[in-house]
Structure 1
Amino acid sequence: MKRNLNLIYKESIDDIDWKEVPRLLELVGMGFTDAEKHRISFENSFAAVFVFDTEKMIGLGRLISDGIRQSALYDIAVDPEYQGYGVGRRIVELLINKTPGCNFILYASPGKEDFYRKLNFRKMKTGMALFADPHRMSDGGFIEE
C-alpha cells in the first residue's frame, strides 16, 4: 500500500539538523560518526541532497567532485520505510546532474549492488581502496582480501 508522501528534496546544507544524519545512516546499517564530522563532510562536498517527508529527514546523499572529470557518490541513504518509492533513485539523479559528463564511482553497501545496477552503474575490475579501518570494512563485506 502506497503512503501519502509530502517529499521535499533540499539541495542546500542550510538549516540541517546534523544529529539526523548519523541517525539515518545508522538506521540503514551504514557507517556513521558524530554529527559534527558529518556536518564537515557535507560542507566540504561538491553537492548534497536531503529528503524530507514534511519535516522528517528520510534520505540523503552527497557528491565529491572536481566538477570536470571525476565524481564520487557517498552516503546515499533512504529510511527503510520509504524505500521503493523512487527516493534513492531521485537522490542519485539529482547528484549526477550536478556534474554532467563526469565519471562516477561509489562503493555500495553489500546487498545494495542491484539498486545501483538499475541506475547503470557497473562493477569495476580494478577498483582498489585503502581504508582507515580495514578490519571493519572486511567484516562489513566491503573488501575481498
Structure 2
Amino acid sequence: MDLKLQYNCSNIDWEEVSSILEKVGMSHYEGEIHKKAFENSYAVVFAFDNDKLIGFGRAISDGVYQSAIYDIAVLPEYQGKSIGSKIVNKILECVPTCNAILYASPGKEKFYEKLNFKKMKTGMAFFRNSIKMQMKGFIE
C-alpha cells in the first residue's frame, strides 16, 4: 500500500465519497452535498492508496477552542491498518488548541477511545430526524 494524505478538496470524486460512506454504513447523500460540507469545513483529510480514495474525515471549528469531527470513514478492506487513526490525528493537528467532540457510529466507540476520546456524561444533540438516529443507535 502506498498511503498518501491530502489536506484539501482538490480533485476529489464526491460520488466516491458518498459511496464510501454508504459502504461503511454511515449517512450519505449526493456527491454535491458532501462537496459543500467538506469545502465548508475547517480541516479535511483524504487518504489514498496510490490514486484510489480509501478514507477521509473533516472538522468544523472556530480555530480557537472548539471543534467537531465528522465523516471519519475508511473502506472496510483498509480498516485495521491505522488509516483511520492517521486521519483523526492529522485533523487534531489542524486544531491544536481546540477541544474536539464527535459522535461515533454505534460499535466504533473503542476506536475513538484508543485515540484518547472520552465518553461525555452531558452530551446532548438535536437531530432533524431523531427517529432515524434512535433506530441507528445514536440516541435513546
Structure 1: stretches of 5+ with no match in the other structure: none
Q: TM-score, normalised by structure 2?
A: 0.98
CA RMSD in angstroms comes to 0.6
Amino acid at match of 1:67: G
Cα deviation, residue 23, structure 1: 0.3
Aligned residue pairs, count: 140
2:111 aligns with one of 112, 115, 118: 115
Which of 62, 66, 72 aligns to 1:66? It is 62
Deviation beyond 3 Å, 4+ runs, structure 1: none
**Residue ranges of structure 2 left out of the alignment (5+ in a row):** none
Equivalent-residue separation in structure 2 for 1:17 and 1:99 (angstroms): 26
Quote how far apart the aligned CAs of 1:33 are: 0.8
Aligned-partner Cα distance in 2 for 1:132–1:10: 32
Whether 2:21 is the aligned partner of 1:33: answer no
Overall identity of the aligned pairs, in %: 56
CA distance in 2, matches of 1:57, 1:78: 9
Structure 1 residue aligned with 2:87, among 82, 88, 91? 91
Partner of 1:79: 75
TM-score, structure 1 as length reference: 0.95
CA displacement 1:86-114 (0-9 Å, x = unmatched) = 10000000000001121100000000000
Q: Quote the residue 1:143 is aligned against.
A: 139
Per-residue CA distance 1:24-58 (angstroms, 9 max, x = gap):
00000001111001000001000100111111110
Deviation at 1:132, TM superposition (A): 1.1
